[in-house]
Amino acid sequence: MKSILLIGVNRFGSLLARQFHSLGHEVMAVDKDEERINNVLPIVTDAQIGDSTNEAFLHSLGINNFDVCIVTIGSDFQSSLETTSLLKELGGKLVVSRADREVQAKFLLRNGADEVISPEKQIAEWAAIRYASDHILDYIKLDESYAIFEVPIPKEWEGKSIGNIDIRKKYGINIMAVKENGKMNLTVTPEMILNSGKTMLVLGEQKSIQKCFHM
């Protein structure tokens, strides 16, 4: 269980709070808007109404007691930047800030953010890859070259074993898991037979996966 300071409980922030709550973490929510704070009270451990650009207010929260500080302010970049900088100055162990544009990400990283998240960009990238192909069911980008794809079993592979297909040797792709009826089987062996109705989680270079599965 982690202690999380969540600054900004707009739509994205409130969704984050709900997810942290479901995972059993302690969350303190901070926002200037009383209505927003009232909306998240049932799903957070504690909440404060206040201005996160006010150093005295932030100091009163005991920043160094939190494992993670997340800034999700989306409508006022100046406030987001000031808040990020103050959090780091006050001893934030891990400061994560939201950016809607590349230039914002650069400023945040230069002014105290340890990491930056760009939810709209990440969702747009996922949706473009997911829906531009008939053969991609899910997608997780690992870096600029490597990714994990969920793909259906190709017809020409049905009834064959993973060892016989040997896509690791041919394409440098690893089969991480096989999924059937929503259940994930992580015990992947060369003897496992691939049948219709199943999907695979495969890891490799994006260009190799696209070539292998004709995407």
What whole-number distance in Å separates Cα of residue 143 and Cα of residue 181?
29
User: Which residue type, as a one-letter code, is found at position 118?
Assistant: S
What whole-number distance in Å separates Cα of residue 175 and Cα of residue 151?
10
Calculate mean pLDDT across residues 15-21. 93
* Pure H helices in 77-187: 77-89, 102-110, 119-131, 162-165, 167-171
* Residue 115, pLDDT score: 95
Q: What is the pLDDT of residues 150-191, one digit of tens each?
A: 988 888 888 888 888 888 888 888 888 988 888 888 888 888
* Residue 194, pLDDT score: 87
Q: What is the pLDDT of residues 133-157, one digit of tens each?
A: 777 888 888 888 888 989 888 888 8
**Strands across the sheet with 115-117, in order?**
46-49, 26-31, 3-7, 68-71, 95-98, 115-117
Q: How confident is the model at residue 35 (pLDDT cuts 50, 70, 90)?
A: very high
Q: Is the pLDDT of residue 132 over 80?
A: no
What homologous superfamily does CATH list for 3-117?
NAD(P)-binding Rossmann-like Domain (3.40.50.720)
What homologous superfamily does CATH list for 122-212?
Regulator of K+ conductance, C-terminal domain (3.30.70.1450)
173 or 69: whose pLDDT is higher?
A: 69
* Residue 55, pLDDT score: 96
What whole-number distance in Å separates Cα of residue 122 and Cα of residue 103?
16
Nearest one of 44, 47, 8 to 26, comparing CA atoms: 44
Domain ranges of the chain: 3-117, 122-212
Structure pTM? 0.72
Which residues fall within 8 angstroms of residue 22, CB to CB, at 6 or more apart?
Answer: none
Q: How confident is the model at residue 51 (pLDDT cuts 50, 70, 90)?
A: very high
Radius of gyration of the CA atoms of the chain, in A = 22
Calculate mean pLDDT across residues 199-203. 90
Q: Is the pLDDT of residue 89 over 90?
A: yes
* Residue 146, pLDDT score: 87
Q: How confident is the model at residue 61 (pLDDT cuts 50, 70, 90)?
A: very high
Residue 175 β-bridge partners:
202
Q: Is the pLDDT of residue 129 over 90?
A: no
Q: What is the pLDDT of residues 110-128, one digit of tens each?
A: 999 999 998 888 888 878 8
Q: Is the pLDDT of residue 101 over 90?
A: no
